[in-house]
A and B are shown apart, each in its own frame.
Chain A
Amino acid sequence: MKSSKTGIILGKTITYIALVLLALSIIVPVGWVFFASVKENSEFYRNPWTLPKGFHYQNFIDAFEKANMQNFFLNSIIVTAIALAFLLVIALPAAYVLSRYKFKGQKFLNVCFMAGIFVNLSYLVVPIFLMLSEADKFLGKTFGIKQLFLNNQVVLSLVYASTSLAFTIFLLSSYFKTLPKDFEEAAYVDGATYFRTMVSIMFPMAKPSILTVILFQFLAYWNEYALALTLMADEKKYTLSVGLLNLMNAQKAAATYGQLYAGLVVVMLPTFILYMLVQKQLTQGMTAGGVKG
Chain B
Amino acid sequence: MDKQKGRGRFVFFCVAPATILFFIFVVFPTINVFRMSLYKWGGFSANKSFVGLENFKNLMKDAKFFQSFQNTVLIIALVTMVTLIFALTFAGILVRAKMKFKNFFRVIFYIPNILSMVVISAVFSAILDQRNGLLNGILSIFAGKEVSISWLGSQKTVIYSMVIVLIWQAIGYYMVMYMSSMSAIPESLYESADLEGVGPIKQFFTITLPLIWVNIRTTLSFFIISSINMSFLLVQAMTQGNPDGGSEVFLSYMYKQAYTNGSYGYGMAIGVIVFTFSFGLSAVINAVTKRDVIEF
Question: Taking beta carbons and an 8 Å cutoff, which residues of A are in contact with B?
Answer: 12, 15-16, 19, 22-23, 25-30, 32-33, 36, 46-49, 90-91, 93-94, 96-98, 101, 103, 109, 112-113, 115-120, 122-124, 126-128, 130-131, 158-159, 161-163, 165-166, 169, 174, 178, 193-195, 198, 215, 219, 222-223, 241, 244-245, 248, 261, 264, 267-268, 271-272, 275-276, 279, 282-293
B47 contacts the other chain (Cβ, under 8 Å)? no
- Taking the closest CB of chain A, its distance from the CB of B21, in whole angstroms, is 4
Which A residues touch B111, using CB under 8 A?
Answer: 26, 30, 275
Complex formed: what's the CA distance from A170 to B279 in Å?
A: 16
B189 contacts the other chain (Cβ, under 8 Å)? no
* Contact present for B26 and A123 (CB under 8 Å): no
Q: List 14 A-B contacts (CB under 8 A).
A: A26-B108, A26-B112, A30-B123, A33-B119, A47-B131, A103-B8, A117-B225, A118-B275, A123-B267, A165-B26, A264-B116, A267-B119, A275-B114, A282-B110
Which B residues touch A33, using CB under 8 A?
Answer: 119, 122-123
Query: Which residue of the partner chain, among A94, A128, A279, A288, contacts B177 with CB atoms under 8 Å?
Result: A288
Which B residues touch A118, using CB under 8 A?
Answer: 225, 275, 278-279, 282
Query: Which residue of the partner chain, among B33, B116, B172, contacts A241 with CB atoms under 8 Å?
Result: B116
Which B residues touch A117, using CB under 8 A?
Answer: 221, 225
* Contact present for B114 and A122 (CB under 8 Å): no
* Contact present for A291 and B27 (CB under 8 Å): no
* Contact present for A127 and B118 (CB under 8 Å): no
- Taking the closest CB of chain A, its distance from the CB of B160, in whole angstroms, is 16
Which A residues touch B172, using CB under 8 A?
Answer: 26
Complex formed: what's the CA distance from A131 to B215 in Å?
A: 38
Which B residues touch A219, using CB under 8 A?
Answer: 113-114
Which B residues touch A264, using CB under 8 A?
Answer: 116, 118-119, 122
* Contact present for A291 and B184 (CB under 8 Å): yes
B12-20, B73-81, B141-149: which lies at the A interface? B12-20
Query: Which residue of the partner chain, among A29, A286, A289, contacts B123 with CB atoms under 8 Å?
Result: A29
B105 contacts the other chain (Cβ, under 8 Å)? yes
- Taking the closest CB of chain A, its distance from the CB of B16, in whole angstroms, is 9
* Contact present for B132 and A291 (CB under 8 Å): no
Q: Report which residue of B115, B168, B271, B295 has the largest number of chain A beta carbons within 10 angstroms of its beta carbon.
A: B115
* Contact present for A287 and B184 (CB under 8 Å): yes
- Taking the closest CB of chain B, its distance from the CB of A284, in whole angstroms, is 6
Which B residues touch A126, using CB under 8 A?
Answer: 43, 258, 264
* Contact present for A131 and B29 (CB under 8 Å): yes
Complex formed: what's the CA distance from A97 to B219 in Å?
A: 23
Which A residues touch B274, using CB under 8 A?
Answer: 120, 123
A to B contact number (C-beta, < 8 Å) = 235
B50 contacts the other chain (Cβ, under 8 Å)? no
Q: Which of B72-121 contact A (CB under 8 A)?
A: 90, 93, 97, 99, 104-119
* Contact present for B22 and A49 (CB under 8 Å): no
Which A residues touch B255, using CB under 8 A?
Answer: 122
Give 1 or 0 for each of B166-178: 1 = CB within 8 Å of chain A CB: 0010011000110
B158 contacts the other chain (Cβ, under 8 Å)? no
Query: Which residue of the partner chain, among A29, A32, A97, contacts B15 with CB atoms under 8 Å?
Result: A97
Known contacts A32-B123, A115-B279, A128-B29, A109 near B15 by CB under 8 Å: yes
Complex formed: what's the CA distance from A174 to B217 in Å?
A: 13
- Taking the closest CB of chain A, its distance from the CB of B240, in whole angstroms, is 12
* Contact present for A291 and B214 (CB under 8 Å): yes
B251 contacts the other chain (Cβ, under 8 Å)? yes
- Taking the closest CB of chain A, its distance from the CB of B86, in whole angstroms, is 8
Chain A, residue nearest B255 (CB)? A122
Chain B, residue nearest A19 (CB)? B105
Query: Which residue of the partner chain, among A91, A282, A292, contacts B176 with CB atoms under 8 Å?
Result: A282
* Contact present for B26 and A289 (CB under 8 Å): no
Known contacts A94-B18, A98-B15, A123-B33, A23 near B110 by CB under 8 Å: no
What are the 3 tightest A-B residue pairs by CB atom distance, in nearest-first order? A289-B218, A93-B14, A94-B18
* Contact present for A131 and B21 (CB under 8 Å): no
Known contacts A19-B105, A90-B18, A128 near B126 by CB under 8 Å: no
- Taking the closest CB of chain B, its distance from the CB of A65, in whole angstroms, is 21
Instruction: Using A198-B14, A248-B118 as known contacts, list a sample of 7 further A-B pairs with CB atoms less than 8 Å apart, ordered by residue number in A.
Output: A48-B132, A94-B19, A101-B11, A124-B29, A130-B32, A286-B177, A289-B216
Complex formed: what's the CA distance from A264 to B129 in Å?
A: 20
Complex formed: what's the CA distance from A220 to B232 in Å?
A: 15
Which B residues touch A271, using CB under 8 A?
Answer: 114-116
Chain B, residue nearest A86 (CB)? B21
Q: Report which residue of A112, A118, A245, A293 has the largest number of chain B beta carbons within 10 angstroms of its beta carbon.
A: A118
B38 contacts the other chain (Cβ, under 8 Å)? no
- Taking the closest CB of chain B, its distance from the CB of A79, in whole angstroms, is 15
B24 contacts the other chain (Cβ, under 8 Å)? yes
* Contact present for B171 and A289 (CB under 8 Å): no
* Contact present for B221 and A109 (CB under 8 Å): no
Chain B, residue nearest A224 (CB)? B116
* Contact present for B25 and A291 (CB under 8 Å): no
